[in-house]
Structure 1
């Protein structure tokens, strides 16, 4: 598993929001995505909800509704905006209200929100247009919160993954190296997100938050999650099987499970009172 899978924000000049083929590949198996992808720290969700002026939340790139359901459990009323109809249909099947649209061109009408969140999705949004749209739909004093996970399996799992990926997809431009990059690089990437928010002139000074946590995975749980990541969603079945088999063997050698150390980073800012 690369330290920076392509669905996470890259600290590079790349423009991931233009990679539409990958952005729209996650809905190929929306059920697996929903069941395998981790949620977000309760402390993060509670902090956003408590520090927003009201309960109305807009979830940008809501996917299957993983984050949205956590905010609903906190008493919030959530509307999702999601460009992939497959993901939107799954989220609706779980009770979430969803508009199918790209956030930058979504037409909110007169709807306004107390919080706009983007959970592991803001890198698919044009940063300039997205910041302006968020300011447009937030009430004065409303909170924009952009967050996502940084994670890396132990080297005993990451190294066989990287080797198998290179064998299966030798001409891939996507990164497939084992551990070596640090959370500091992600914090730099999130600092750039903060800069783009600041440049709109519509928000108070952005803050950066950090939450560290762990989760234990069995072999089967990790093999269920891997195909939902950006570097694997577009592979042929034989390529995917070769990679998963190598990872399965590695986890078996660890006793069938391992502990993942997650860091969830967030950039958040309040909509300025002045128009």
Structure 2
């Protein structure tokens, strides 16, 4: 994966916010079930426009801070989730004090990091007994038209990584636990175009490739009868992982 792709999202923050799905609240709750009881401080790292942040804020009694390398994404987050403190940083270099949080979570982000360096740095800011949570929303490609959609857009780095096996988490965190949820999201043709526009491969593609992707997506949507404001149920599998700091 390229640095250009990893840092490409800010220019498409609006499409990211519209096109990407929310996280199931059950998945967010599950990631944090092993965190210390009582008042919790949680860092959302790679927070983007706040898709995961808003689910964390909705949880009772949590104090949330958001970290992302892209100031444009954090600006969109502040609009979407007012009042959450935001900081520019990465999983390998966190602008947080030692042992200052009970949990660090990453939504749609661990595939961009160096897992050994990130585990060590997150271990620095998480208190002993605290939790590292990782979550991804993945389109369910067991459905034929969804698989064809991915072929048109190209697989993402997350999809490629998780197809090869579970994510790597290193010391000072213990073994990974995992869970999954299946659900559907009603989407329009325009929302799926916005979703595609927010993907790193598409953002960094040349104009000819972007035009090819849009043309082939439109042909698929025509075949599906997806016009104007009509919706289709896009199936997702949410995969969540958690590990406890030693």
* TM-score after normalising by structure 2: 0.84
1:69 corresponds in structure 2 to: 54
Match of 1:159 among 148, 151, 166: 148
Contact 2:139 2:237 in 1 (8 A): yes
Contact 1:223 1:244 in 2 (8 A): yes
Contact 1:157 1:250 in 2 (8 A): no
Match of 2:19 among 26, 33, 36: 36
How far apart are 1:237 and its partner, in Å? Answer: 4.1
- Structure 1 gaps, min length 5: 1-15, 166-174, 178-182
In 2: Cα distance, 1:210 partner to 1:157 partner? 19
Match of 1:263 among 226, 237, 240: 237
User: Residue 195 of structure 2: SS of its match in structure 1?
Assistant: helix
- Asked if residue 21 in structure 1 is aligned to residue 4 in structure 2, the reply is yes
2:43 corresponds in structure 1 to: 58
User: Residue 102 of structure 1: SS of its match in structure 2?
Assistant: coil
Contact 1:57 1:115 in 2 (8 A): yes
1:139 corresponds in structure 2 to: 127
In 2: Cα distance, 1:148 partner to 1:176 partner? 14
Q: 1:219 to 1:114 in 2, by over 3 A?
A: same
Match of 1:244 among 214, 217, 227: 214
Contact 2:119 2:173 in 1 (8 A): no
Match of 2:90 among 83, 102, 106: 102
RMSD value, Cα: 2.6
Runs ≥4 in structure 1, deviation > 4 angstroms?
none
How far apart are 1:73 and its partner, in Å? Answer: 0.9
User: Residue 96 of structure 2: SS of its match in structure 1?
Assistant: coil
2:162 corresponds in structure 1 to: 186
In 2: Cα distance, 1:160 partner to 1:45 partner? 27
User: Residue 259 of structure 1: SS of its match in structure 2?
Assistant: strand
CA deviations 1:215-264 (Å, max 9, x no partner) are 22221221121111122111244532332132123212212143222111
1:224 corresponds in structure 2 to: 194
- Structure 2 gaps, min length 5: none
Aligned length: 234
* TM-score after normalising by structure 1: 0.76
How far apart are 1:49 and its partner, in Å? Answer: 3.6
Contact 1:49 1:71 in 2 (8 A): no
Contact 1:161 1:247 in 2 (8 A): no
In 1: Cα distance, 2:207 partner to 2:160 partner? 35
